[in-house]
Each structure stands twice: as structure tokens, then as C-alpha cells.
Amino acid sequence: MKNILIVEDDKLLNEGVAYALTKENYNVISTFNYNDGYFAFLNNTIDLILLDINLKDQNGLKLCQEIRKKSNVPIIFITVNDTEQDIIQGFEKGCDDYISKPFSIAILKQRILAILRRTHIQDSNIFKYKQIHINYNKMILKKEEKIIKLTKTEYRLVELLTKNKGQVVSRQTILEKLWDMDGNFVDENALSVNIRRLRKKIENDPKNPEYIITVFGIGYTWGKSS
């Protein structure tokens, strides 16, 4: 299910669009101002953003710029600003599409579908969670756009956990998966050492992890449950 973030301060419009998209089986996160919108973007895996330019607390163009510093997530501006210069400025700031109010919900749905189709292939092997961004194809993990150097075992460990996000992966399963084709054996002690090293590299506070969570007596899971 695709996650769509709406940042629109018109409550009725926000709720109407959210309702229509939910009926199309999208998971919708509705926010009504700059700060809440940016917070939702940072703390969720977002597939597309519908962003109003004329937010009451801040300009949506600025929010688009801030998001672009961290992500290439598709952004569609929905706004009353419909002059040629307005539209050009929107694309210059990094939007993928621009829809003037009032607009047809049916057309909005088609615009969303078109953008998601274009981005599906390139995004299918990308994982994002809070400050962590993983490109599975390139075997690269970034934290706030900074590449974190991992050993082969550390990378395979984080890949296993992130690809099973929302599930508890037992220590036994991890040990079996990390015993690679070259025959490199990872025992219980080595696993614990790798977990500690990995936490030091990616956690803000290794003693209070928010990414690699211990499920006592069983194993580990990625991310705290909401």
C-alpha cells in the first residue's frame, strides 16, 4: 500500500482528498501546516506528497526545498497560484507536477497513478525509515545523506532486518541467514558483537536504540512499534 502525505491547511479540501484516496486503497497521512508536514515526512516512508503552496504558517515552496535536500519523493503542488511564473517556480523548486485549484479528484487520481508508475521501478529497491536510507541495489546505507561504511556481515544483517520490518527475526534465523555461501560462520557471540558495532554506527544513542530493537528471548526487529 502506497503512503501519500497531504500538506494542506484547507480542512475540508484535505479531508475530501484524503477520503477519495483512501477509497483507492492508499494510506493517507493528513497534515495541515509546514511543521507537521515536515515531521510526518521525516518519520514515515512516504511515496508521494500533495503540497499546498500557500500554507498559513509557511510557504509550501520552502517545504518542498527542505524535502528535496533529503529525498526525491514525488511532490505534486496543489494551489490557487496558477500563473505561468507560479508554475515555473514550482518546478524550479523541485515539484514533479502542478495542479491548480479547483481541480477534479478524478484527474488528481490519474496524475498520482502516472507519477507512481514512473517511480515504481526505481524506488522498489529503496528503503527509507527516519534518518536511514538504504539502496539495496547498490548496497549503500546512508544516515542523513552520509554514507555509513559497513562490513559485509553488518550490511547483510541490516538488510535482513529492514526487509522484514514489522516482524521479529529470531537470533537463530539471523545466524542461518548470515552463514553465507562462502561458508563464513557467525556464532551467537559474533552476532552480538555485530549488533553492538552496527548500533554504534547508525543509532543516535546506541544504549536506547530506535532502529535495531531487541526483543528479549527471541531476536531483533527493525524500528519501534507505533
At 50-71, the pLDDT tens digits run: 999 999 888 899 999 999 888 8
Please report, for residues 67, 92, 101, the alpha-carbon distance to residue 51 in angstroms, rounded to integers and kept in the order given.
Answer: 11, 15, 12
Domain identity same for 133 and 119: no
Domain identity same for 23 and 112: yes
Domain identity same for 56 and 136: no
Domain identity same for 89 and 131: no
Chain CA centroid to CA 154, Å: 22
Domain identity same for 108 and 157: no
Long-range contacts made by residues 114-123, C-beta under 8 angstroms, separation at least 24? 115/48, 115/74, 115/76, 116/2, 116/47, 116/48, 116/74, 119/47, 119/74, 123/47
| Domain extent at residue 75 | 3-124
- Please say if the pLDDT value at position 209 is more than 50: yes
Domain boundary among 91, 124, 157: 124
Average pLDDT over residues 88-109: 92
The share of the chain scoring above pLDDT 70, in percent, equals 94
At 131-162, the pLDDT tens digits run: 999 988 778 899 988 899 999 889 999 999 99
Torsion of Cα atoms, 56 then 47 then 30 then 70, to 10°: -40
Q: 146 has which bridge partners?
A: 143
DSSP letters of 122-169?
A: HHTTEEEETTEEEETTTTEEEETTEEPP--HHHHHHHHHHHHTTTSPE
Domain boundary among 108, 124, 140: 124
Domain identity same for 140 and 118: no
Q: What is the CATH number of the domain that holds 187?
A: 1.10.10.10
Please report, for residues 46, 94, 159, 193, 225, the alpha-carbon distance to residue 30 in angstroms, rounded to integers and kept in the order given.
Answer: 12, 21, 30, 41, 20
Domain identity same for 212 and 141: yes
pLDDT of amino acid 181: 44
Single pTM value for the model? 0.57
At 168-183, the pLDDT tens digits run: 999 999 988 877 545 5
3-state secondary structure of 174: helix
End-to-end CA distance of the chain: 17
Q: What is the CATH number of the domain that holds 55?
A: 3.40.50.2300
Domain identity same for 27 and 61: yes
Residue 30 pLDDT grade (very low, low, confident, very high; cuts 50, 70, 90): very high
Domain boundary among 124, 144, 165: 124
Domain identity same for 94 and 7: yes
pLDDT of amino acid 183: 56
Domain identity same for 12 and 120: yes
Among 119-133, 146-160, 201-215, the least confident range:
119-133
DSSP letters of 71-120?
A: ----EEEEES--SHHHHHHHHHHT-SEEEESS--HHHHHHHHHHHHHHHH
Domain identity same for 115 and 149: no
- Please say if the pLDDT value at position 121 is more than 70: no
pLDDT of amino acid 225: 65
- Please say if the pLDDT value at position 122 is more than 70: no
Number of domains making up the chain: 2
Domain identity same for 186 and 110: no
Q: For strand 48-51 and strand 97-100, is the pairing parallel, antiparallel, or unpaired?
A: unpaired
At 68-95, the pLDDT tens digits run: 888 888 999 998 887 888 889 889 989 9
